[in-house]
A and B are shown apart, each in its own frame.
Chain A
Amino acid sequence: MTTKKIINVINIKNLQKSYKIGNSLLHVLKGIDLDIKEGELVAIMGSSGSGKSTLLNILGMLDLADKGKYLLDDVLIEGLTETTAANYRNQFLGFVFQSFNLINYKNALENVALPLYYQGFGRKIRQAKALEYLEKVGLKDWATHLPSELSGGQKQRVAIARAMASQPKVLLADEPTGALDSKTSNEVMSLIQQINNEGKTILVVTHELDIAHMCKRIVTLKDGVIVEDQNVDQVIVGNHV
């Protein structure tokens, strides 16, 4: 527990990570220090191989750091068992992936309700909440459609609704617009801005500069270190939803 006034939702110090490839060691993260406050909308930029995805995976507790300290909402994330990691993910984090990762045999509503299932909510509450979040992303009428019947933009909006449904502290978006054209990219970013304006802390990993500029802060990674960290004037995307 810390006594800081302003709450850092994410607080990392000297985070290091290397991967073993054959006999050689690939040093991906070489000491990252980063604080993210509540309500921020941060873009993590960098070319491929800069370590941005690795950073996001560690933040998402999908991967463990070799060295360094990671506090998520003042909870030290260290040496977690798979089960506790799963519970923390469920409780603290919402994921949005580049390839949407919806479960193809579940309809939109069931997909959104899935994290609520793992949170232990009953079926009725799950459905009501899921429907509420689907409405938020403007897809209430598509609730019973399978992912295969949705467009890319719609799929990503369902994925965002799913990430939001468990009411996480932080939303982690890994190239959320990577598989979308620019028009639907703008739609999705507009939605992300809207959610951020409601107070949600959001991290967006991207390699596109215009997407990054739709965020409030840009952290640039290169070769495993942060080379630039600046607040920017946010480009507000018109509300298309």
Chain B
Amino acid sequence: MNSLKVIFDLDTWQEIFGSIAKNKTRTVITVIGVLWGIFIYITLSGAAKGLDNGFEREFEDMAMNSMFVWPKRTSVPYAGFKVGRYPRFTISNVKELKLQIPEIQYIAPRNARGVFGGSQPASVVYKEISRTYNIYGDFPEYTKIATKKIYKGGRFINEEDQRNNRKVCVIGERTQEELFEKDENPLGKYIRINNVYFQVIGVHKYLEGGGFETDGDIFIPFNTFRNLYNTGLEVDWFIIAAYADADVVAVEKNVKDVLKKIHKVAPEDDRAFGSFNLGEVFNRISGFANGMTFLSLVVGLATIFAGVIGIGNILLISVKERTKELGVRRALGATPGEVRTQILLESVFLTFIAGVVGIILGAAVLAIINLVTQDLSDFPYTNPTVPIPFVLGALFTMVILGTLIGLIPAQRAVSIKPIDALREQ
């Protein structure tokens, strides 16, 4: 028989609709099994994607493959030095690191006051108002690694500022609020930092999740900072960004090895330098998100599979129930092929309908979750989606499984001899 012709024949579908519509309970129960499967799959994988997107949003203001390195105390005596020495990073380390580790894209040395270990924050005065804020000495490279959103009209520190030891500063939005009048434009105004006048060149927008930085931070050029605090060549810590394709863990280790060599720290001394590898953390989190996606795929497919088996099961029972009907059909001239096609198409049709309804429900739930979590900025969940190919793939898988599982009841239906079917009372 020409099976394609049968599929596109309206009468075939009328027979199938008839049998499905007249067995409502069976149909509904059957459909729920598969519907649940695809619903779980869509919801789970959408949620996983949302979580993934959410994490990505959390880290959007920082280069994914960046790390912080800072000096601590040595714990191993080495090259004539005693234990407990405080190695100091210097500005010349930058050149050395870049030379020896080609994977490094940017290095931003930083100095700060008010952030760590009891150093005094800067005292800032504007007109009659006097406040203290954390102050950072920065290279322009800093914005290559960490995004600093500067409010309209302003800018971050640039090479010129650096070269000319300009007394310019970028202030935080809280600083602006506290020092300036509401409608006063701080750009171009002079504020006094530790009794030195600085011109405000920008106001940075505070972004959450950026570690220890706050909305009151003041950034000034590294060289200016050096003059202001007389820090010489010293650097408090480095922020290092590796190229996108580099292995951040290896880069971190190389950086430390190079620094150990420069500062005469024992190669085995793991406590001399501290570091925080954002890339590694990010990899771990995105690994978690990937794991979630994979889990949702496995759970979803398993549930779909269970649902499809349920369809096969119920169709098998229904074939048993319909033994007589199928026998009558055979006696009236239905060929085994026609009976098989009917049962098979019932299975496929039920699976398909269940799949489509499940996808719609899953999408609805995702939309609701998205709506509810939209305003929660501390909850890493953004734009939960399932790629269309995945949805179609799941639907396709289901129809294939529905066909395969439908073969069992279909074969059972065909194996019923009309005479036995009719004899059964």
Q: How far is the CB of B63 from chain A (nearest CB, A)?
A: 67
The count of chain A contact residues (Cβ–Cβ below 8 Å) is: 30
- Given A101-B422, A106-B18, A86 and B330 touching (CB < 8 A)? yes
Query: Once bound together, how far apart are the Cα atoms of A103 and B327, in whole Å?
Result: 10
B119 part of interface (Cβ distance < 8 Å): no
- Taking a contact as CB atoms under 8 Å apart, the answer to whether B336 and A83 are in contact is yes
Query: Once bound together, how far apart are the Cα atoms of A123 and B17, in whole Å?
Result: 15
Q: How far is the CB of B333 from chain A (nearest CB, A)?
A: 2
- Taking a contact as CB atoms under 8 Å apart, the answer to whether B419 and A63 are in contact is yes
- Taking a contact as CB atoms under 8 Å apart, the answer to whether A115 and B419 are in contact is no
A239 part of interface (Cβ distance < 8 Å): no
- B interface, over-half SS: helix
Partner of A89, one of B22, B333, B338, B425: B333
A141 part of interface (Cβ distance < 8 Å): no
Query: Chain A residues near B335 (CB, 8 Å)?
Result: 82-83, 86-87, 118
- Taking a contact as CB atoms under 8 Å apart, the answer to whether A162 and B332 are in contact is yes
- Taking a contact as CB atoms under 8 Å apart, the answer to whether B333 and A105 are in contact is no
Q: How far is the CB of A48 from chain B (nearest CB, A)?
A: 13
- Taking a contact as CB atoms under 8 Å apart, the answer to whether B328 and A101 are in contact is yes
Query: Chain A residues near B334 (CB, 8 Å)?
Result: 86, 118
- Taking a contact as CB atoms under 8 Å apart, the answer to whether A118 and B14 are in contact is no
Q: How far is the CB of A105 from chain B (nearest CB, A)?
A: 3
Q: Mark A156-186, 1 if CB is under 8 A from B, else 0.
A: 0000001000100000000000000000000
- Taking a contact as CB atoms under 8 Å apart, the answer to whether B332 and A90 are in contact is yes
- Taking a contact as CB atoms under 8 Å apart, the answer to whether A90 and B333 are in contact is yes
- Taking a contact as CB atoms under 8 Å apart, the answer to whether A89 and B332 are in contact is yes
Select the stretch in A38-46, A91-99, A194-202 that faces chain B. Answer: A91-99
Q: How far is the CB of B24 from chain A (nearest CB, A)?
A: 10
Query: Chain A residues near B194 (CB, 8 Å)?
Result: none
Query: Once bound together, how far apart are the Cα atoms of A90 and B328, in whole Å?
Result: 12
Q: How far is the CB of B366 from chain A (nearest CB, A)?
A: 38
Chain B residues 160 to 189 lying within 8 A of chain A, measured CB to CB, are none
Query: Once bound together, how far apart are the Cα atoms of A189 and B10, in whole Å?
Result: 38
Q: Mark A94-126, 1 if CB is under 8 A from B, else 0.
A: 010101011111100010001101110011000
Which residue of B has the minimal Cβ distance to A88? Answer: B333
- Taking a contact as CB atoms under 8 Å apart, the answer to whether B332 and A105 are in contact is no
Query: Chain B residues near A57 (CB, 8 Å)?
Result: 419
